[in-house]
Amino acid sequence: MTEPNIPVTEDELHAYVDNELPAERRGDVEAWLAAHPDEAARVHSWRAMADALHARYDGVLDEAVPKRLELERLERQPRRWIYGAVAATLAAFIAGGGIGWVARGAAAAPSTFQSFTVDALDAHRLYVVEVRHPVEVPGSERDHLQAWLTKRCGWAVRAPELAGLKLVGGRLLPGPSGPASFLMYEGASGERFTVYTAKAKTEATQMRYAVQGGDGALFWADRGVAYVVSGGSDRNRLTQVAQSVYDQMEKSGG
């Protein structure tokens, strides 16, 4: 039996939403929520967001974690097996009149495009389903997150301000040729977008679109860094987000 006067913690509230709270503590938390309507409303919003995420992404929960996302692996494994499955869904993206989307160099070789896009979509689909631990560093520590990723990745990593989206945070991932930065954003309805960046030999490419399993991604490269913005199946919305990321990276110099 637990003492009902023990303060309810933030972790307990998350555990309550995830149905992971010990049974003997559940009644105490529910009583506390009944006496704190503002906190009860916050918990309700978490549960609604969790339900929306599960409805959207539960289909990928049972998929094996891609080996390339395991940080302890020192060598990347051949990815030929996945190219065949993805190649049929990869398509060039042609922007109509969008400023800044014109190629400033040769288009990326298919292998570069596929390599980065497959990795980015794998990471996107793996982490957007997480409610409690989607990132390593929270968005509330934006300055620390940018400095940490910049130091580890070797280029200036910036977390852009995206209209209508909140920075959830970010994490460090292995990329095709070294470390990669991974930033996650979330809208009021629980919709999530991710920004994956890693070093690339291709200097400049136009925007290219890919879709895999209902999720879309926009890829481009500039000044030796490749970017992939991933999101849901709404291509227009994804393009708006990617355009904003692109514009801000241009203004900051990469």
Amino acid making up residue 86: V
Q: Which pLDDT score is estimated for 65?
A: 53
Q: Which pLDDT score is estimated for 107?
A: 46
pLDDT in tens, 91-133: 333 333 333 333 333 444 446 778 889 899 999 999 999 888 8
- Whether 196 shows a pLDDT value over 90: the answer reads yes
Query: Which CATH number applies to 72-252?
Result: 3.30.200.100
pLDDT in tens, 45-69: 777 766 666 665 555 555 555 555 4
The answer to which of 7-11, 23-27, 123-127 has the lowest mean pLDDT is: 7-11
pLDDT in tens, 140-185: 999 999 999 999 999 899 999 999 999 999 999 998 888 999 999 9
Domain residue extents for the chain: 10-58, 72-252
